[in-house]
Amino acid sequence: MSCGTLYICATPIGNREDISARAVRILKEVDLIAAEDTRHSRGLLDFYGISKPLVSYHEHNKYERAEELVGRMLQGKNVALISDAGTPVISDPGEVLVIMAREAGIPVTSLPGPCALITALTLSGISARRFVFEGFLPMENKDRKAVLDALRDEPRTIVLYEAPHRLRKTLQELKECLGGGRAVCLCRELTKIHEEALPATLEEAEALYREKEPRGEYVLVIAGRSPEEKQEEMRSSWESRSPEEHLQAYMSRGMTKKEAIKAMAEDFAISRNTLYALLMK
C-alpha cells in the first residue's frame, strides 16, 4: 500500500477570501485535517463547505500527535495541516510534523498562501530586497536582549511579530537598541476592515503607543542599519574620546598596542598611519 501525503495548507490571516482554489480542493479531498484550534478552524471550513474530520495539532501535543498522524499517513491516509491563521510552521506549529513525515519517507507538499510577514513587508514601503524574520522576540529578558543585541548592526530589513499586550515594551526596547530615528512600519489588522500600515520612526511609534492602547496583532517592519547611520555612530563615538583614551579602552580588552591600533583603524575607518600620527602628537 502506498502512503499518503502531508499537505501544508496556508489559510487566511483575516479576510476569508484569501485562500487558494487548490487549498480549498485539497482540504475537501484529504482524509483528515490537523488544525491548531479545531473550533477556530471550523468556521473557515464551514464557510467553504468542507466537512472532513478534524484533529487538533498544537504546541502542547505536537510530538504525540505527529507520531499518530505519521502512522495514519503510512497507512495511506492524506493529511492537511492548517493553523489558526496564515502559513503553518511560520511562528506556528508544524515543524515537528514536517520533520517526522519526511524522516518516515512520506511525501510533503506545501500549498502557498497568506503569511503576515510577507503581506506586511510588501506594503510597508521599507526595502523588501533583503530581510530577516525574527518572529516573536523571546519572552525572557536575557534572551530578548541577546536577540536585540544581534539586531543592532543588522543592515537588512527586520520583520517581527508582536501581540498587542507586549507592543509597548517591544517598541521601547527597539528604540533603545536601534535608535529612535530608525524607520518602522507598524502593520496591524492586515487584510481586515481596519487594516493599517503606519509609517513612523521608532521614537514616534513608542511615543504614540505610550498614549494609545495597542489593538490587534502587529507585524513590525523595521529598516536595517544604513551605512550612513553606521558612519555617523562611528564619527560621534570617535569624537567622544581622545585617540589615547580609545587606545587605552581597546588595550584594556587584552589587546597589544599593535592589535589595538589595527582594530581601531578598522572600526573607525582611519588609516593606521593617521592613527600613529595622532597618537604621537
Under the rule (CB under 6 A), what is the footprint of ligand SAM? 13-14, 83, 85-87, 90-92, 115-117, 161-163, 187-192, 217-219
Nearer to ligand SAM by C-beta: 14 or 214?
A: 14
Shortest separation between residue 209's beta carbon and ligand SAM, angstroms:
15
Residue with Cβ nearer ligand SAM (218 or 250): 218
Beta strand extents in 167-242 (DSSP E only): 183-188, 196-201, 218-222
Rounded Cα distance, 263 and 278, in Å: 15
Cα separations in angstroms, 244 against 121, 201, 259, 274, 279: 45, 36, 14, 13, 6
- Mention every residue, 6+ apart, whose C-beta is less than 8 A from residue 78: 4, 5, 7, 29, 30, 31, 32
All three cell numbers of 256, joined, read: 597589544
Nearest distance, CB of residue 190 and ligand SAM, angstroms: 3
Which whole-number Å values give the CA distances from 13 to 86, 89, 219, in the listed order? 5, 14, 12
Q: Which is nearer to ligand SAM, 78 or 87 (by Cβ)?
A: 87
Q: Which is nearer to ligand SAM, 114 or 224 (CB)?
A: 114
Nearer to ligand SAM, 188 or 246 (CB): 188
Sequence-distant (6+) residues with CB within 8 A of 214 are 164, 165, 167, 168
Min separation Cβ 242 and ligand SAM, Å: 47
Task: Name the grid cell of 228.
Answer: 550612513
Nearer to ligand SAM, 68 or 196 (CB): 196
CA distances from 1 to 66, 75, 76, 163, 213 (A): 21, 7, 7, 45, 57
Residue 112 CB, nearest distance to ligand SAM (Å)?
Answer: 11
CB of 120: closest distance to ligand SAM in angstroms? 7
Give residue number: closest CB to ligand SAM. 86
Helix (H, G, I), strand (E, B) or coil at 89: coil
Contacts of 149 (CB under 8 A, 6+ apart): 177
CB 140, min distance to ligand SAM, A: 18
Q: Which cell is 191 given?
A: 487584510
Q: Is residue 49 within 8 Å of residue 3, measured between CB atoms?
A: no
Output 94 or 243, the one with its CB closest to ligand SAM: 94
Give min distance, CB of 92 to ligand SAM, in A: 4
